[in-house]
Amino acid sequence: MIDLVVQASEMLLRLDVILMISAGLVLGMLVGALPGFTTVMAMAIVLPISFFLEPILGIPFLIGVYKGGIFGGSIPAILVNIPGTGASVATTLDGPAMTRNGQSRKALEIALVASAVADFLSSFGTILIIGVIAAIALLIGPPEIAAILMLSLLVIVVSSSGSFLKGMVMLLIGMFLAMIGQDPIGAMVRFDFGFNPLQAGIHLLPLIIGLFAIPEILVAMEKRKSRGLENTSSRAVGERLRLHELKRCMRTILRSTALGGMIGMIPGVGQVVAAFMGYSAAKNASDDPDKFGKGEMEGVAAPEAANNAVNGPTMVPLLTLGIPGDNITAIMLGAFVAQGLRPGPQLFQEQGVLVYSLLLSMLIACVLLLVIGYFMTPLFARIVSINRAYLLPLMLLFAVAGTYVYRSNPLDLYFMVGFGIFGYICRKLALDVTPLVMGFILLPPLEYAVGQSTLLARGDLIGYLIGSRPITVAVLILTPLLIFWIARRQSSATGAVKSEANEDAAPR
């Protein structure tokens, strides 16, 4: 492994790599700082740019957007009490109170340091363990992969917002959309409705850009009469963060890092839950919990550290098993596949140096986040109030250009608009599109793994599994139990998060 890391470092230490990560961070922070625009949307729009760069430039660029976006969301959360992204909702519990106390600069700086430190530590931990997990993953075959994929899909459904049944409906829609085109085993044409271009299937890019970027534009349009943030004064003011204050927060940051790191490895749970859990843990561990909700610095450090600590470990299921845990890693998977890299244990054997260089780029991104964030946060603070009349057309221009360039097929644009309308309807009806995207991405490998298992079984699948595949049987038996356990944990965590939010919002 040490050899791989050394070679990966040599591959990574290039000026253009550093510049692309920096560009990604700036872009991510910019979008994260704009209330209502999400990191997922930013990544969806810039995804096609990464397709046309070499992997060592394109994927670190997306990593930069990801990390910058998660931190950027804290800027409006602290300054104007509107979370820039979902991940920074918990930051609104103490961030705006610090701003009201004239400590907005301090709040932004502790958010930045907590984000960068937690992200660095969790990414470092990821690099240490991911090789071992990939080695274990190499021992498994098609039946085990099929069982793990089914388990992952169900975990994603049960972790999605809304009810299990709604999640299942969305998952099935995603799976059905993936069936359009050709089956992954014999390339038999399915559901082309006599329309030849459909035989190539629906591409991931119009689906992702349509579902994540277009609804943002439509939602912004419906609210165009109530765009209250324009002309709002949003500046970082007050004293800077002192070293003794940072030392006081370090225990909280480390605790949140551990929590966020563990949550990141579980597909589907994500930054929002991590941030609230980090906040609750900090409050419970505090000698003076009454200060929380009234402008306590640890109340900003805890959720910011926890939500950024999720970033690195989400790469574990993605790179070792090819299973994206959330929308952002689903987009990353799209970037890997477009570069001709199929995430999974084989990738570590075939492209070990490249994989480790991409993992190491996460550490560089964390250091650059600290540097760029330190100098540019005051600028991003002003961007919070930028006029959307200019941002919305820019988003659409990038969305259209990005969707078109991949195949130069105008049909993709119609798909993008169609998925955009569908995504908007889903948002209005509180239907989470995450299971749809996951179903779309994971159906082909699932179908392929089941097909291979059927061939291996030679007609007696159940006998083959029981006789020769004990791990598959164990995973299949454990799946309903695990789903039930996660659902229970999820409902109790949601209850705790709601009561936490209500409790802390009440005195203000």
Partner 1 sequence: MRQRQQVRRLKSLVDVNAWNTDTCIAAFTILLGVVIWLLIPHQVDQPRAFFGQINQGMSPSLFPQFAAAGFVIIGGLYLLFSFEMDSHNGFADLNMQDYVGIATVLVFMTAYAVLLQPLGFVISSGLTALAIALFYGSRNIIGITIVALVAPLLIYFMFTRLLSVSLPAFPWVSS
Cα–Cα distance for residue pair 325/322, rounded to 1 Å: 10
Cα–Cα distance for residue pair 96/94, rounded to 1 Å: 6
Q: Using CB under 8 A, which of 13, 129, 371, 455 touches partner 1?
A: 455
Length reported for the chain = 508
Q: Whose Cβ is closer to partner 1: residue 194's or residue 507's?
A: 194
Point out which residues pair with 182 in neighbouring strands.
Answer: 189
Stretch that binds partner 1, among 22-30, 299-307, 454-462, 482-490 (CB under 8 A): 454-462
Q: Is 410 an interacting residue with respect to partner 1 (CB under 8 A)? A: yes
DSSP string, 38-79: -HHHHHHHHHHHHHTS-HHHHHHHHHHHHHHHHHHTHHHHHH
C-beta separation of 464 from 458 below 8 A: yes
Task: Report the phi/psi class of residue 201: left, alpha or beta, with left for phi > 0 and alpha for psi in -120 to 50.
Answer: left
Q: Which helix (H) or strand (E) holds 309?
A: helix 297-309
Binding mask 24-63 for partner 1 (x = CB under 8 A): -------------------------x--xx----------
Q: Is 430 an interacting residue with respect to partner 1 (CB under 8 A)? A: yes
Q: Whose Cβ is closer to partner 1: residue 119's or residue 432's?
A: 432
Q: Is 466 an interacting residue with respect to partner 1 (CB under 8 A)? A: no
Q: Using CB under 8 A, which of 454, 464, 479, 489 touches partner 1?
A: 454
Q: Is 420 an interacting residue with respect to partner 1 (CB under 8 A)? A: yes
**First-to-last CA distance in the chain?**
52
Q: Using CB under 8 A, which of 5, 337, 370, 405 touches partner 1?
A: 405
Q: Is 496 an interacting residue with respect to partner 1 (CB under 8 A)? A: no
Cα–Cα distance for residue pair 465/188, rounded to 1 Å: 27
Q: Which of 39, 11, 8 is nearest to 25 (CA)?
A: 39
Give the DSSP letter of residue 241: P
- Token match 């563990």: residue? 262
Q: Whose Cβ is closer to partner 1: residue 401's or residue 474's?
A: 401
Q: Whose Cβ is closer to partner 1: residue 41's or residue 362's?
A: 41
Least Å from the CB of residue 194 to partner 1: 9
Q: Which of 461, 449, 435 is nearest to 268 (CA)?
A: 435
Least Å from the CB of residue 415 to partner 1: 10
Residues that bind partner 1 (CB under 8 A): 49, 52-53, 163, 165-166, 168-169, 172, 175-176, 179, 183, 185-186, 188-193, 214, 217-218, 221-222, 224-225, 387-390, 392-394, 396-398, 400-401, 404-405, 408, 410, 413-414, 416-417, 420-421, 424, 427-431, 443, 447, 450-452, 454-455, 457
